[in-house]
Structure 1
Amino acid sequence: MREPVKGTSEAGRRRESRARDTRLRVIEAGVRLFIERGYVPTTVQAIADEAGVAPATIYQAFGTKQAILAAALDLTIAGDDTPLALLQRGWVAKAAQEQDAHRQLRLIIEGATQVAARTAPLKAVMRDAAATDPAARELILQDHERRHRTQEGLVDVLIEHRRLRAGTSRSRAVDTFFALVNSHTYDLLVTQRGWTMTHWQDWLIDLIEHDLFGTTI
């Protein structure tokens, strides 16, 4: 997504603010339509109509529909349009400062599962689109890599002051977290099997405590 040139004058700042508001309106319209209609049936014209802008505005700001999907994914991962990486978010900093190991794990799981729940509908759309759209397949692969790097950072928070269970490497710990804490597991257990969010989180905490650290709560 192209970023606007930052204005130094009052008029420039107003233009920048309007451009940001327009981009956010387009992305939010994209999220709604992708989830309601699917990625392939949703056209740039439909997104423009939903957002109340001209298609030319979308092409100028994003270039392609795939770029809108990528921006929509970024927005749902973060939960807002503040330009902060996930590992820079307040809930991660709070967990990093927590001295109690069990409480720290709960804070990490609560934050990560909220991201998984928030992104689940859009990621289901992406998986459907990937069957026919190479751009969607590539975006899924990029998302997997990014999520793995992010969750590597979360595991590093957990192991900064704790030892992993004997025989468990850092790489194995990250892969375990990656396999368990994701939107697909959320879909399986919460959406399809009717687990509550709390039930899912407690299950994850028990598994991770045992598998990574060899302890139970």
Structure 2
Amino acid sequence: MAARGRPRDEAARQRIVTAATSLFVRDGYVSTTVGAIAEEARAAVKTVYAAYGNKLGVLSAAHDRAVLGDDEPMPLLEHAWVRALADGGSVETAWAEAAGHLAESTARSAPILTVIHAAAADPGVADLQAQLRRHRHSFSLGLARILLRLPGAAQHASTSRVADILYATMTAESYTLFVTERGWTLEQWRAWAHDVIARELTANAAPA
């Protein structure tokens, strides 16, 4: 997903992404300049370019940090909590754990994804949005495969169907509609999404 090189000063790299995220969410992608990001981050403009190539690279990095919760450029399927699901016992237990992680990730990333959606008239941002959607569906497919191998999974469940429902349910759009617009709590939204997908994973799933 993320960016190109890294500045030698790790603290500067973190400040750049933090500053950019704040400015993108407040002012939008189009109105935010690399100069403004550099000033907010207390970094040189050339440091921003050296780290991320251009403003689009900074936007991509801001997205990745929001989704992953850190600055490590690691695919989500390789994170420790995902790998641990295979040893998590039943499909119900593993999915409850995964739903918690995904709800938190979605809550963190919804603001920057809203920025990306709003700026999609820019060809570069449109390409980034399409790439992120492909990555998210690929993750959903990988997660569905992990979960459907676990004890208690529905024997005839379709991996592609579960992946598609994951892809469409645990989304920034869904989070924004329920939580931001309709006033649900994060926990209420997580429980709803958990139940929708649990019904696909196993006929015996209990409500969250």
TM-based fold match above 0.5: yes
Q: Find the counterpart in structure 2 of residue 114 from structure 1.
A: 104
Once the two structures are superposed, the pairs formed by residues 28-67 of structure 1 within 5 Å of their partners are 28-67=18-57
Q: How far did 1:133 drift?
A: 1.0
Q: Find the counterpart in structure 1 of residue 167 from structure 2.
A: 178
Q: 1:206 aligns with which of 188, 195, 200?
A: 195
Q: Does 1:98 align with 2:100?
A: no
Q: 2:137 aligns with which of 133, 148, 152?
A: 148
* Counterpart AA for 2:54: T
Question: Structure 1: which 4+ aligned runs deviate by more than 3 Å?
Answer: 162-166
Q: How far did 1:147 drift?
A: 0.7
For the residue of structure 2 that corresponds to 1:97, the secondary structure is coil
Moved more, 121-130 or 86-95: 86-95
Q: Does 1:84 align with 2:46?
A: no
Are the counterparts in 1 of residues 66 and 108 from structure 2 also a CA contact under 8 Å?
yes
Structure with higher Rg: it is 1
* Counterpart AA for 1:126: I
**Aligned residue pair count:** 203
Q: Distance in 1 between matches of 2:195 and 2:44?
A: 51
Structure 2: unaligned runs, 5 residues or longer: none
* Counterpart AA for 1:125: V
* Counterpart AA for 2:34: V
Are the counterparts in 1 of residues 24 and 115 from structure 2 also a CA contact under 8 Å?
yes
Q: Does 1:3 align with 2:5?
A: yes
Q: Find the counterpart in structure 2 of residue 8 from structure 1.
A: none
Instruction: With the length of structure 1 as denominator, give the TM-score of the two structures.
Output: 0.86
Q: 2:17 aligns with which of 2, 17, 27?
A: 27
* Counterpart AA for 1:32: S
Deviation string 1:98-122 (CA, Å, 9 cap, x unpaired) is 1133221100111111111110000
- The RMSD of aligned alpha carbons is 1.8
For the residue of structure 1 that corresponds to 2:86, the secondary structure is helix
Are the counterparts in 2 of residues 120 and 183 from structure 1 also a CA contact under 8 Å?
yes
Are the counterparts in 2 of residues 30 and 47 from structure 1 also a CA contact under 8 Å?
yes
Q: Distance in 1 between matches of 2:190 and 2:114?
A: 21
Structure 1: unaligned runs, 5 residues or longer: 5-14
% identity of equivalent residues: 34
* Counterpart AA for 1:152: L
Q: Find the counterpart in structure 2 of residue 138 from structure 1.
A: 127
For the residue of structure 2 that corresponds to 1:42, the secondary structure is coil
Q: 1:159 aligns with which of 130, 148, 171?
A: 148
Q: Does 1:74 align with 2:74?
A: no
